């Protein structure tokens, strides 16, 4: 997202850049899952960050009426009540669905509210709202007027449970262990059987009831003598022709293919080529219909069983082979899909697709990760006409009326009373509704007022269209993303640019960027699924760890193209981070109280008094005499803000979260606050009167100096803490809101931290680079001393002197900041030396040598016991080795290297024994007396 932010706080509102983003509308029937939580966390972080960076940010929420899913939900309820939608009738059923929606439809948005989603709830939409329905109708009528909508009989994927056509994208294929039935069709000549058979193979024997031919390859030598012959269709006793078609594969099955145009897309094409009739043998529920002879009324699988039995009885079953093949299931209800001829409405997709391809080719829409552009092109370049009709009751009913007199169709913006062709009033509305994606594909234009855009109400469209970004999952790239691009580019051209000029393609696209988010998997990188039982419920996890910690976990792992292995151990870690922030706040307020007790309100007043939060130019940031830790932490803050901005600009949520984490926990809490504690000492201040009566060098005056030092440290503390809250706010909105209000003692300069300014990177003061370097050296020194202390066993609380060999520059730095080193590494004194005293444990780095001066005290009794044990062990080992080496038989048989190894081991043990005996001799005799090791 390479949008440039405003350059100054004073920028005019009119030039305010916009950031708009559409929530992929969840189904009204939906419940929040981890995928939603990731996607919404990402959208929320980006929206909050843009808003805080001076953008006019809009995140627009809504829900989808989800035709099939919602209808199914209510149908289940009706079944449980012992009734059905058919018994209820269309009108009552639709009313019932609305009632369901009013009751339960808001659940998923309520869940979203828990996650802190900063959407504009005043703009919440539902795809069946009146306003959006107008857009759906206009789009349909317009496409019809443009000759881009037609109606025809084609093979569609039919779900017998949902009783509707479903799109190719809504069919999921599973590998299925089925059979290949081989059936003999008797050859007929002059109406009589010749005694010969042509054997065909099929995976769906029940469809044979609708066979109209058998096809063979014209060059298949096996069947050359059957050219022009006829066959008797078993069970139906219908005479059908043998046809020749090069499409037939000679290798598959027997090389002879039954042709059922009404139940298979390939057969349908064959039927068209050979002008064959189509016989539909099934009804909407996949029961055999009146065209199925004796099998009429049977369910498709019952019919299958009976047909196979009957064929066997008649000696027409040539064989049954095991056969593994892919079977399509309805994505919604998992019922096996039945390819079936049916009359549907289609959108002629080509002109729309071409424009949508061009828009991406020209870079008007960009994909992150980039590879999704390739997937998009592949699909768009092989796109089929879009079947937009569904045989459902819940949805946008197609605005077309059939005439009983002239049989023509009237499509209209207003419900007509008469046929547009013959003026008859014998018209009835189409019963089909539109595919759900037809309305959701229009959302980017319809939510901003299309098609009713007038000069008076066009502000929204002008401000927010094209939207800036779409964040979504790859699974709806075609369902939704591609269709929004097609419909957006097609219809937004209706709206000229604000200056009246025609809308170019670059301004017609529904969004400028598409960010495809990754999958959330379980801790073992397995896909979450109900069958595996590894599904994590975001609401449960939020209850357990808090929204902020869960959001931060997702952000800390989110980057383009990388799936997330969600591990609660990490969430625990980020809950600890949230606690760290609370503790820092507690420490801050404690110091504020202590300052107030001695009459210091300064640092706090500075924050509040400014009226707005940019207090970057506080006097203590630059200049001489300012403690280096103050200059350093402020410079670090700006540096971090820069890194977070860059990371978010590139969808590196992980980097952004980690920078903030390192800054707050590492730089701020572990280093800065530990150093600042040296100065955070408030002593009671004498009154002016008291002060006047005392000597100028008195204790009290020194206390006053101390207090002003403490006040300044507190000032920096408050300043950096408050800025950190703003930095953290897009990631952890709940905690930061609460603490931010507390920092301002209930009188914040903005309504919410979310409406304050995001910390912006800037050069803190001249020469911030040397500060980083200097601080790094000091940190390295402290780290080395801490490591040395551990190595030589200095007790945790003990303080010790150190020896330091350093060049003049570092020596100066260490002298100036000796109190920091002393405090953080528990050092009593820094001895600057030319060479480290021999015998001391030391560490060597590129810029210094350091050693701890430590005399270890030991427990003499324990040491004597240890040494005595060691000596006994060595003596035993030595005796064994000597015995073995003195054994002539062993020496003559053992390989040389074994003997050599044994000799080496003997020598080593002898040395260890000697050392242990010496150490024991050197232990003091009086056990109560500590000694030098
Ligand atoms: Zn279904
Ligand atoms: Zn008519």
Write out pLDDT tens, residues 867-879. 899 899 999 999 9
The predicted pLDDT at position 611 comes to: 34
Residue showing tokens 């139940």? 263
What pTM was estimated for this model as a whole?
0.81
pLDDT digits (tens, 9 = 90+) for 97-130: 999 999 888 888 888 888 889 999 999 999 999 9
Instruction: Report the alpha-carbon distance of residue 75 to residue 83 in Å, rounded.
Output: 9
* Distance in Å, CA 401 to ligand 2 centroid: 9
The predicted pLDDT at position 438 comes to: 96
* Distance in Å, CA 415 to ligand 2 centroid: 15
Ligand closest to CA 423: 2
Ligand closest to CA 419: 2
Query: Do residues 461 and 451 lie in contact, with contact meaning Cβ atoms separated by under 8 Å?
Result: no
Read off the DSSP letter of residue 403: E
The two tokens of residue 559 are: 């980057």
The two tokens of residue 902 are: 């044994």
* Distance in Å, CA 282 to ligand 2 centroid: 31
* Distance in Å, CA 393 to ligand 1 centroid: 14
Give the CB-side neighbour count of residue 868, counting CA atoms within 13 A: 7
For ligand 1, a single-atom ion, which residues have Cβ within 5 Å?
Answer: 159, 161-162, 330, 332-333, 335
The predicted pLDDT at position 610 comes to: 41
* Distance in Å, CA 170 to ligand 1 centroid: 9
* Distance in Å, CA 406 to ligand 2 centroid: 4
* Distance in Å, CA 809 to ligand 2 centroid: 98
Residue 732: its H or E element? none
* Distance in Å, CA 532 to ligand 1 centroid: 23
Which pairing describes strands 338-347 and 256-259: parallel, antiparallel, or unpaired?
unpaired
Ligand closest to CA 406: 2
Query: Do residues 178 and 323 lie in contact, with contact meaning Cβ atoms separated by under 8 Å?
Result: yes
The predicted pLDDT at position 144 comes to: 97
The predicted pLDDT at position 608 comes to: 53
* Distance in Å, CA 416 to ligand 2 centroid: 12
Query: Do residues 828 and 854 lie in contact, with contact meaning Cβ atoms separated by under 8 Å?
Result: no
* Distance in Å, CA 166 to ligand 1 centroid: 8
* Distance in Å, CA 418 to ligand 2 centroid: 8
Instruction: Report the alpha-carbon distance of residue 721 to residue 637 in Å, rounded.
Output: 10
Which pairing describes strands 389-390 and 366-368: parallel, antiparallel, or unpaired?
unpaired
Angle between helices 860-885 and 896-922 (to 10 degrees): 150
Give the CB-side neighbour count of residue 99, counting CA atoms within 13 A: 8
pLDDT digits (tens, 9 = 90+) for 140-182: 999 999 999 999 988 889 999 988 888 877 899 988 899 999 9
Ligand closest to CA 164: 1
Contacts of the segment 43-46: beta carbons below 8 A, 24+ positions apart: 43/117, 43/471, 44/115, 44/116, 44/117, 44/118, 44/551, 44/730, 44/733, 45/551, 45/555, 45/648, 45/653, 45/656, 45/730, 45/731, 46/1, 46/19, 46/21, 46/469, 46/471, 46/648, 46/730
| Chain-centre distance for alpha carbon 481 | 17
* Distance in Å, CA 670 to ligand 2 centroid: 83
Instruction: Report the alpha-carbon distance of residue 636 to residue 619 in Å, rounded.
Output: 17
Instruction: Report the alpha-carbon distance of residue 468 to residue 509 in Å, rounded.
Output: 10
Question: Residues in the chain with pLDDT < 50?
Answer: 1-13, 609-622, 764-766, 927-933
Q: Across the strands, what pairs with 125?
A: 62
């Amino acid at each position: 997202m390479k949008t440039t932010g405003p350059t100054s706080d004073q920028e005019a509102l009119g030039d305010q850049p916009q950031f708009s983003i559409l929530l992929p509308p969840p189904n009204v029937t939906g419940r929040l899952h981890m995928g939603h939580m990731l996607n919404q966390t990402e959208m929320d972080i980006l929206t909050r960050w843009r808003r805080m960076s001076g953008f006019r940010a809009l995140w627009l929420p809504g829900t989808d009426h989800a035709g099939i899913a919602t209808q199914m939900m209510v149908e289940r309820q009706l079944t449980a009540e012992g009734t059905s939608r058919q018994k209820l009738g269309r009108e009552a059923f639709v009313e019932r669905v609305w009632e369901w929606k009013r009751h339960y439809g808001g659940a998923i948005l309520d869940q979203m509210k828990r996650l802190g989603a900063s959407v504009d709830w005043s703009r919440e939409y539902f795809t069946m709202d009146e306003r959006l329905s107008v857009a759906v109708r206009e789009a349909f009528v317009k496409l019809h007027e443009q000759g881009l909508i037609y109606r025809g009989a084609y093979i569609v994927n039919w779900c017998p449970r949902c009783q509707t056509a479903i799109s190719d994208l809504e069919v999921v294929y599973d590998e299925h262990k089925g059979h290949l039935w081989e059936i003999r069709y008797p050859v007929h000549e002059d109406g009589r059987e010749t005694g010969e058979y042509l054997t065909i193979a099929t995976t769906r024997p029940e469809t044979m009831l609708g066979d109209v031919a058998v096809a063979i390859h014209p060059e298949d030598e096996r069947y050359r003598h059957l050219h022009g012959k006829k066959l008797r269709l078993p069970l139906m006793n219908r005479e059908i022709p043998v046809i020749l078609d090069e499409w037939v594969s000679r290798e598959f099955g027997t090389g002879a293919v039954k042709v059922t145009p009404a139940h298979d897309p390939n057969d349908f094409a064959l039927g068209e080529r050979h002008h064959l009739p189509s016989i539909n043998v099934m009804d909407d529920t996949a029961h055999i219909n009146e065209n199925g002879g004796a099998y009429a009324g049977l369910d498709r699988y019952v019919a299958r069983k009976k047909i196979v039995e009957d064929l066997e009885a008649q000696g027409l079953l040539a064989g049954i082979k095991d056969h593994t093949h892919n079977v399509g299931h309805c994505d919604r209800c998992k019922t096996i899909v039945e390819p079936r001829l049916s009359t549907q409405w289609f959108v002629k997709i080509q002109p729309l697709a071409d424009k949508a391809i061009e828009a991406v080719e020209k870079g008007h829409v960009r994909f992150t990760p980039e590879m999704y552009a390739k997937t998009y092109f592949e699909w768009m370049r092989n796109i089929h006409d879009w079947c937009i009709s569904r045989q459902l009751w819940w949805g946008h009913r197609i605005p077309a009326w059939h005439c009983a007199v002239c049989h023509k169709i009237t499509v209209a913006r207003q419900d007509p009373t008469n046929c547009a062709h013959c003026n008859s009033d014998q018209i009835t509305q189409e019963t089909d509704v539109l595919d759900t994606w037809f309305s959701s594909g229009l959302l980017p234009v319809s939510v901003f007022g299309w098609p009713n855009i007038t000069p008076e109400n066009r502000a929204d469209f002008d401000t927010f269209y094209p939207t800036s970004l779409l964040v979504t999952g790859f699974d709806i790239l075609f369902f939704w993303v591609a269709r929004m691009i097609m419909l957006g580019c097609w219809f937004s051209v209706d709206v000229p640019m604000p200056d009246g000029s025609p809308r170019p393609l670059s301004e017609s696209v529904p969004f400028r960027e598409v960010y495809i988010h990754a999958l959330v998997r379980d801790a073992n990188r397995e896909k979450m699924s109900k069958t595996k039982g590894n599904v994590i419920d975001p609401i449960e996890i939020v209850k357990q760890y808090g929204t902020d910690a869960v959001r931060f976990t997702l952000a800390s792992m989110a980057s383009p193209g990388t799936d997330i292995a969600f591990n609660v151990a990490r969430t625990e870690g980020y809950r600890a981070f949230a606690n760290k922030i609370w503790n820092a706040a507690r420490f801050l307020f404690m110091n504020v109280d202590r300052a107030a007790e001695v009459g210091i309100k300064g640092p706090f007043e500075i924050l509040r008094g400014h009226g707005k939060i940019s207090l970057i130019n506080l006097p203590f940031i630059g200049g001489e005499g300012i403690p280096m830790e103050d200059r350093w932490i402020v410079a670090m803050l700006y540096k971090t803000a820069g890194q977070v901005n860059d990371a978010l600009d590139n969808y590196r949520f992980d980097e952004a979260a980690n920078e903030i984490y390192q800054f707050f926990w590492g730089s701020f809490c572990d280093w800065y606050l530990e150093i600042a504690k040296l100065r955070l000492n408030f002593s009671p201040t004498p009154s002016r009167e008291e002060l006047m009566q005392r000597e100028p060098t008195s204790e009290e005056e020194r206390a006053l100096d101390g207090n002003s030092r403490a006040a300044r440290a507190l000032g920096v503390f408050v300043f950096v803490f408050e800025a950190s809250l703003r930095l953290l706010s897009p990631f952890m909105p709940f905690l930061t809101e609460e603490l931010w209000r507390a920092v301002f003692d209930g009188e914040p300069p903005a309504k919410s931290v979310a409406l304050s300014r995001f910390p912006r990177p800037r050069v803190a003061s001249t020469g911030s680079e040397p500060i980083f370097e200097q601080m790094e050296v000091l940190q390295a020194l402290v780290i080395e001393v801490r490591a040395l202390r551990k190595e030589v066993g200095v007790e945790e609380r003990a303080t010790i002197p150190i020896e330091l060999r350093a060049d003049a520059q570092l020596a100066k730095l260490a002298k100036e900041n000796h109190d920091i080193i002393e405090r953080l590494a528990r050092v009593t004194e820094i001895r600057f030396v030319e060479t480290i005293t021999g015998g001391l444990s030391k560490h060597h780095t590129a810029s210094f040598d350091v050693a701890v001066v430590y005399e270890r005290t030991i427990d003499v009794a324990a040491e004597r016991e240890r040494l005595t044990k060691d000596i006994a062990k060595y003596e035993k080992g030595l005796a064994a080795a000597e015995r073995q080496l003195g054994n002539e038989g062993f020496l003559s048989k053992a390989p040389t290297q074994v003997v050599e190894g044994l000799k080496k081991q003997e020598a080593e043990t002898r040395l260890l024994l000697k050392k242990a005996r010496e150490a024991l001799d050197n232990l003091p005799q009086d056990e109560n007396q500590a000694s030098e090791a």
